């Protein structure tokens, strides 16, 4: 059994295969996931797991250098934006439109679906390097 916090084998597998600048998305339960993208569906019921919990655990395993957020997140869900900003710290945040975020999902190694139902609770994480 794994000793680290992340137990989901599909998510762990994707992260272990990521290289510098590869992307991984985490989204709410309503985010439309393209058929071409690998879907890691964690959603159980409304709110479980949460977007924030999923982001925190993912970042225990994944080194990032940038995040992409829909600019609508900051406007429509400011409390969520503040939590994201606190979690990612000094990492670069690039704001794009929600439509651009959805278009970028096809470039992601995978899209993680949570049970979150907060509007615009979606993020794309760009992999960094540990050296």
- Catalytically active residues are 20
70 has binding-site annotation? no
Q: List CB contacts of 117: < 8 A, sequence separation 6 or more.
A: 28, 29, 30, 46, 47
Q: Would the annotation count 86 as a binding residue?
A: no
Whose CA is closest to 59, among 118, 18, 29? 18
Taking residue 55's Cβ as centre, other Cβ atoms within 10 Å add up to 22
User: Does 121 show up as a binding residue in the annotation?
Assistant: yes
Distance CA 9, CA 15 (A): 10
Q: What is the DSSP letter of 30?
A: T
Asked whether residue 22 is marked as a ligand-binding residue, the answer is no
Q: Is 81 annotated to bind ligand?
A: no
Q: Known binding site: residues?
A: 28, 98, 120-122
Q: Known binding site for substrate: residues?
A: 28, 98, 120-122
């Amino acid at each position: 059994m794994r000793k680290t916090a992340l137990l989901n084998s599909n998510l762990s597998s994707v992260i272990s295969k990521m290289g510098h600048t590869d992307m991984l998305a985490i989204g709410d339960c309503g985010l439309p996931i393209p058929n071409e993208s690998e879907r890691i569906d964690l959603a159980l019921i409304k709110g479980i797991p949460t977007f924030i919990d999923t982001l925190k655990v993912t970042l225990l395993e994944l080194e990032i250098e940038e995040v992409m957020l829909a600019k609508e997140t900051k406007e429509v869900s400011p409390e969520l934006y503040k939590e994201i900003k606190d979690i990612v710290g000094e990492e670069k945040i690039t704001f794009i439109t929600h439509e651009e975020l959805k278009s970028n999902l096809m470039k992601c190694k995978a899209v993680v679906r949570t049970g979150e139902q907060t509007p615009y609770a979606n993020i794309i994480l760009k992999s960094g390097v540990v050296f």
